[in-house]
Amino acid sequence: MNYSGYLETLTADPIRITNVTFEAGCRNNWHIHHKGGQILLVTAGEGWYQEWDKPAQKLITGDVVNIPAERKHWHGAAKNSEFVHIAISIPADEATTEWCEAVTDEQYNLLD
């Protein structure tokens, strides 16, 4: 099944801030923010955040996630809820994002 997400850049300089909307069941791939981290401010719905080799954390409106640089992770919507967050990229010289493998349906379907 194909899922969609929507990105709206709110500011790009000096700090990149993006409004991100995932439809129910949508999630991004595992990824790593090199040199600069990221902060997620959950503004609507229910979703998930998971770091590599750690259990997934359920997220709801009002939650804040501080993602340190170099931490492999993914985030996305719960199966039955849209999920909206503001993503704030922490500025750093030569910061990049490395996109990795997809979160498999098997991994995702283990979540409540």
pLDDT in tens, the chain (112 residues): 567 888 999 999 899 999 999 999 999 999 999 999 999 999 999 999 999 999 999 999 999 999 999 999 999 999 999 999 999 999 999 999 999 999 999 999 999 7
Spatial CA neighbour of 78 closest among 33, 109, 40, 99: 109
Look up the pTM and report it.
0.93
Distance between CA atoms of 94 and 42, rounded to whole angstroms? Answer: 27
**CATH level 3 topology of 5-109:** Jelly Rolls (2.60.120)
Domain boundary assignment for the chain: 5-109
